[in-house]
Copies of this chain bind each other. A is one copy, B any other.
Amino acid sequence: MTHSERAAELFHALADPTRLEILDELRAGECCVCELMDRLQAGQSRLSFHLRVLKEAGVIQDRREGRWMYYAVNAEALAELGDLVDSFKQAKRARRVAGCC
């Protein structure tokens, strides 16, 4: 996976209102799926889908406890995200003007 593919994966995971609402809930600590269903008024398979997208991008982690799955934000991913955004802010050395057209 190239650098920009990985970055795109990370941003894509955040590019959906439902997933952002999930993350907002998780900011208050880890949370099981049924509680998320309650809070977001979202169907089970819909949530499961979005949780998987977030998890595959590394944005959240899960942990089983009995029949419940608890999801939590993955701090590493947030750091990665912060670094990405910082890199946007950092100017590159200017290219020589290429005379393209």
Contact: B20 with A95, CB < 8 Å?
Answer: no
Contact: B5 with A17, CB < 8 Å?
Answer: yes
Contact: B91 with A28, CB < 8 Å?
Answer: yes
Contact (A35, B2) CB under 8 Å given A78-B88, A94-B28: no
Contact: B27 with A8, CB < 8 Å?
Answer: no
Interface of A: prevailing SS = helix
A64 beta carbon closer than 8 Å to chain B: no
On A, residues with C-beta under 8 Å from B are 2, 4-5, 7-8, 11-12, 14-17, 19-21, 23-25, 27-29, 32, 34-35, 37-39, 68, 73, 75, 78, 81-82, 85-86, 88-95, 98, 100-101
